Each structure stands twice: as C-alpha cells, then as structure tokens.
Amino acid sequence: MKTPYKNIYAVLKTNRFIVIAVLAFSFLSSGIAVWSVFSINNKALNNAFAVNTDGSVIPLKWVAQKENLKVEALAHLDLFHSYFYNIDASNYEKNLEKALWLGNSSVDNLYRQKKADGVYNRLLQYSLVQKVINIESQLDLQSNPYTFQSRTIFEINRGTVVDRYEMISTGNLIVVDRNFPKNTHGLLITNYFEKSLKKLTNEN
C-alpha cells in the first residue's frame, strides 16, 4: 500500500505560517527589548546620585525636592513676618488675619498677648506705622519638623521720630495641605517665639 503524500500547497501554507509567526515574535521581542532599555535609561537619569557633604550618596531627585522646599520655606517665612510686623492703623487687622493662617496656636497666642498688652491700641491711638525693612531667615531642613531663625528689621514711625528695631524669632515649620490663597506654600509655623528685640542705633 502506497504512503499518501500531503498536498504540497498545504505544506507550503504551514511553512509560511511558521515563518510569519517567528518573524512576528522576533519583532515583538526586539520592541520589548528596546522599550526596556529606554525605560531603564530614563529611570537612571531621573534617579542620578550625588555625594552629600558627609560622604553619603543621595538621589539628585531628593536634592531637587530639598531645594524646592527651601525656596518655599523662605517665601513662607518672608510672607508671615511681613504680614505680622508690617502693620499700621489701616491694615493691621487684615494683615494679622493673613498671618494667623500661616502659623498654629503659638502665633495666635502671641497675637492675643500683644493685643492684651495694648500693642494694637497704641497703634491706633498714636497712628503709628510699623514697616518691615528686611527679613533674613536661616533653615535647618535635615529633620522634620524643620527649624528656623529669622532676623527681622523694622521701623516704627511716630511722626517726628523713626526708631529702628531688630527682632530675632525662632520656630519650626511643618508640611500641611496647601490652601489657596490663605496658605499657598503648604507650610505651618509652630513653636513660634520672639527670642529677642533690640533698638538699633546709628552705630548698629
């Protein structure tokens, strides 16, 4: 009995299917390989490393985050000290309300103490103008909560007399949810304390 031969066209059709399948698989594998290399390269670029001052290695992404935090923290402190100390009879209520959004109960307690001491009554009674001249802040962003010390120079205009003062204040900063426009930087001042206040003379 003779062995039946398969139809030549069926054999060719099967071979063509196998060749097409192998080529498709090869292209798919090559595409996945190229995508993987591209993805790994992007991750490497986004997670480049830098050497810290103590010799430790840190991702540059962290460095960028720290730089952004420093900028926002300094802006937050500038804004707070401007609102809290740059006041006169016409704007003190509005400015103090804005300042209270930037700090916690420690700021509110200081405000209430100043109010009880008659600071704002004297502002109204004698039409005093308290103007902030300069604000310089130092930050420690190594641990949370972040500590700061600010040096604020301001003048009190009493009409015929203008006195200049230097105030050193300290406190902490914590990260909170942003609240536009009341707290755009998403930071809150805690443990706020007026460390020292001195009158400046021409010699200073």
Residues 35 and 103 in one domain: no
pLDDT, tens only, 10-61 = 666 777 778 787 777 777 777 787 777 766 656 554 555 555 555 555 555 5
Residues 138-149: what's their mean pLDDT? 93
Identify whether the C-beta of residue 163 lies closer than 8 Å to the C-beta of residue 155. Answer: yes
The total domain count for the chain is 2
Identify whether the C-beta of residue 202 lies closer than 8 Å to the C-beta of residue 163. Answer: no
Question: Which is more confident, 51 or 91?
Answer: 91
- The domain of 133 spans 73-200
Amino acid 36: pLDDT: 74
Question: Is 87 domain-assigned?
Answer: yes
Residues 34 and 80 in one domain: no
* Number of other CB atoms surrounding residue 30 within 10 Å: 10
Element (H, E) at 165: strand 162-175
Residues 49, 46: Cα–Cα separation, whole Å: 9
Residue 100 CB partners (closer than 8 Å, separation 6+): 107, 108, 111
Amino acid 65: pLDDT: 67
Q: What is the DSSP string of 32-99?
A: HHHHHHHHHHHHHHHT-EEE-TTS-EEEHHHHHHHHHHHHHHHHHHHHHHHHHHSEETTTHHHHHHHH
Amino acid 67: pLDDT: 74
Amino acid 159: pLDDT: 85
pLDDT, tens only, 125-136 = 999 999 999 999
Range with the lowest mean pLDDT among 43-52, 145-154, 185-194? 43-52
Residues 41 and 131 in one domain: no
Residues 11 and 86 in one domain: no
Q: Is the pTM of this model over 0.75?
A: no
Residues 41 and 125 in one domain: no
Residues 11 and 82 in one domain: no
Amino acid 22: pLDDT: 78
Q: Is pLDDT at 110 greater than 80 in this prediction?
A: yes
Identify whether the C-beta of residue 156 lies closer than 8 Å to the C-beta of residue 162. Answer: yes
Residues 99 and 147 in one domain: yes
Residues 145 and 187 in one domain: yes
CATH of the domain at 156: 3.10.450.230
Residues 101, 107: Cα–Cα separation, whole Å: 9
Question: Is 84 domain-assigned?
Answer: yes
Residues 37 and 130 in one domain: no
Residues 12 and 91 in one domain: no
Question: Which is more confident, 1 or 158?
Answer: 158
Question: Is 108 domain-assigned?
Answer: yes
Question: Is 1 domain-assigned?
Answer: no
